[in-house]
Structure 1
Amino acid sequence: MTTARDVMTPGAECVRTEHTAADAARQMTERGVGALPICGKDDKIKGVVTDRDLVVKVLGHGRDPGSFPAGDLNQQEAVTAGADDSVDQVLSTMTAHQVRRLPVIDRERLVGMVAVADLARALPDAKIGELVDVLSTD
């Protein structure tokens, strides 16, 4: 069975809730990624911030990214995948929550990120087609 750990990109880093949106943007730029998990002082994942979130929720509303807290970009509930979840479980979670990226945790510790592209390399075309269809629906 192929697991999240098998297909994830390892070494993901969090932006902290007390950091700013500007910090998140810099971190994304430095790492060459479009999303970062948001972690609290307890090191638990609180959500994920995307480059689109920064544009729409911060810049689009005229907010100052240098003072806007990254923690305010959290979702209601952090959606994650377990490192030992099957890729089918990961696909199901992404489809159910309509997300393109998932933090991967092992005993509540961040170990990587899974993106649609990671699944596209690991799953048959039909399953990926279903996910892309769900993500493309408004």
Structure 2
Amino acid sequence: MTTARDVMNRGAQTIGAEDTLLDAARHMKNLQIGSLPVRAADGALVGMVTDRDIVIRCVADGADAAATTAGSVSSGGIVTVEADMDIDQVLSLMREHQVKRMPVVDGGELIGMISESDLVAELSSERIAHFASGVYKKD
């Protein structure tokens, strides 16, 4: 059985909800990633901010990325998967919630992320096609 732990990219980074989008963008640039889970002051994961969120919810509206917080534009509520969850269950959750990136936790602690590129590297083209058809479906 292939698990989330087998597929994930280890060492996921986060951004604080009160950190600015400028901080988030710089962090993404330095890490060469397109999203960051957002943590509340108590350490709980509360959302996800993407490079697209920064552009659409801040820059395009003329807001100041140096004054706008990650928490104010992040997607509310975050879906995570346990590290030992079967990859088919992970794919099902990603399809259900139409997300392209999934934080992986172990005992509530963030230990990795699963992205589309991680899936492509590990799964058959048929499984990828099935995943993509659900994540990219038009409502």
| TM-score, normalisation: structure 2 | 0.94
Map 1:70-85; keep pairs closer than 5 Å.
70-85=70-85
**Is the 1:58–1:68 contact (alpha carbons within 8 Å) kept by the matching residues of 2?**
yes
75-84 vs 1-10, which deviates more?
75-84
**Is the 1:80–1:105 contact (alpha carbons within 8 Å) kept by the matching residues of 2?**
yes
Q: In 1, distance between residues paired with 2:39 and 2:76?
A: 14
Structure 1 gap segments, 5+ residues each: none
| TM-score, normalisation: structure 1 | 0.95
Q: In 2, distance between residues paired with 1:28 and 1:110?
A: 17
Q: Name the count of aligned residue pairs.
A: 138
Cα distance, 1:135 vs structure 2:
2.6
Q: Secondary structure at the match of 1:84?
A: coil
Cα distance, 1:115 vs structure 2:
0.6
Displaced runs of 4 or more, over 4 A? none
Q: Percent identity?
A: 41
Cα distance, 1:42 vs structure 2:
1.5
Q: In 2, distance between residues paired with 1:23 and 1:42?
A: 19
Aligned-residue CA RMSD in angstroms?
1.1
Deviations 1:101-138, CA, capped at 9 Å, x for gaps = 01111111110100112122222221210221223223
Deviations 1:55-99, CA, capped at 9 Å, x for gaps = 001111111000001111232321111111111111011100001
